[in-house]
Structure 1
Amino acid sequence: MLLAHPDDPDKCIKITYTRNPDVEKQELKYYRRHQRRGISWEMLAKTYGSVENSAGSGVMFSLARDFDGSISRTLDSYLADDRLTPPATVLTELFSNFRSYMLRERIVVRELKPDNIVLQRLTPNQQRLILIDGLGNNQCLPIANYMSTFAKRVILRKWNTFEADLLKKFPDNNTVQRVIAGG
């Protein structure tokens, strides 16, 4: 669950409801690793650490807002409605840029899902994707955390799974079907 930060409209607090209390700690560990590496935060929500509030324990993050001030919506919400889905050329570019960013910055995720990504409208004609959840490595042997070659393999495998899942989740969205099919 996301809560708007009471004192800062550009931040939010993600309240973690999970059976595994270590998920929040693990996620913060990966964020600290990326901070030490000096990555670009252009397509990954930046963390500001753990916080306690009346709703429970949470993690404070940057909040993506569109050019008009509204909170950016999930990719899932855009793909669920054909009328909101960006044109194929735009969606292809968004996917390509996001995948390139993940590979360049070695952003390994537990799972890549359209509800863990927001589509931020920077201008009426310019958008970008931002990962807001799912950061981490859920492999038994997390060598991808330490070796670029393995990180890239894991990212590409997760990307292929993401695309396959999109095809299944949005079988009636012709734009998604065309973009992933490559044409």
Structure 2
Amino acid sequence: MIDLTNSYLLGKGSSRICYLHPEDPGKCIKITYSRNLDIEKQELKHYRLHRRRGISWEMLAKPYGKIETSKGSGVIFSLAHDFDASISRTLDQYLSDEKLTPPAKKLSELFDKFRNYMLTERIVIRELKSDNIILQRLTPNQQRLILIDGLGNNQFLPIANYLSTFAKRVIQRKWDSFEKHLKEEFPDNSTVRKVLAMGR
């Protein structure tokens, strides 16, 4: 069992809390604290599906299995770091402060690559939000987006899990909702407005 008593708290969402792995700085441990354990169960099901399909993990946090901790049962995931060894921050943090937001051309490229990755690898998500995405700085001039939460299919008929055409339709609908979320969440960020006006 892993003791998380003195572990660094990375973040807390609506259903899970995330700690830095005390024995491996390249990993984190997510613990579900809500009573809805079905979310974790469904998420792990999708991770197993993607592993069997042999997807690229370039833009998706990689799972390393379940583990018992002092704060309950958790799941180990990869943890992104920037080129300067600091823990990568969420897209939400970069968009909340326009001084930190990448230039419009760069942000548009990041969005295009991320969306194309999800379509190519058929990464179906329950919900796509800016605080579920990491912006990792690989070099001072190179970044990439990584999905760290929200994996799963909350459609009534989960046919998108198995058929590429349906998966791409669901992903595109989720992306459209994501852009709407960005518009509502960051109305004062002129860079975000400019990028969304470009369309994709």
Fold match, TM over 0.5? yes
- Is residue 45 of structure 2 the alignment partner of residue 29 of structure 1? yes
Structure 2: runs of 5+ lacking an equivalent: 1-16
Distance 1:4 1:144 in 2: 33
- Choose 111-120 or 18-27, whichever is displaced more: 18-27
In the other structure, the counterpart of 1:64 is 80
TM-score by length of 2: 0.90
Counterpart amino acid of 1:89?
K
What pairs with 1:78-89 in structure 2 (closer than 5 Å)? 78-89=94-105
TM-score by length of 1: 0.98
Distance 2:167 2:76 in 1: 26
Distance 1:19 1:79 in 2: 31
In the other structure, the counterpart of 1:150 is 166
Deviation at 1:18, TM superposition (A): 2.1
1:27-79 Cα distance to aligned partner (Å, 9 max, x none): 11100000000000000000001111011111100000000000000000000
* Higher RCO (C-alpha 8 Å, min separation 6): 1
Aligned residues: 183
Distance 1:126 1:27 in 2: 29
Question: Which structure 1 residue ranges, 4+ long, deviate > 6 Å from structure 2?
Answer: none
When the two chains are superposed, the root-mean-square deviation of aligned CA atoms in Å is 0.8
3-state secondary structure, aligned to 1:122: strand
Structure 1: runs of 5+ lacking an equivalent: none
Deviation at 1:12, TM superposition (A): 0.4
- Is residue 118 of structure 2 the alignment partner of residue 93 of structure 1? no
In the other structure, the counterpart of 2:185 is 169
Deviation at 1:25, TM superposition (A): 1.2
1:98-141 Cα distance to aligned partner (Å, 9 max, x none): 00000000000000000000000000000000000000000110
- Is residue 128 of structure 2 the alignment partner of residue 109 of structure 1? no
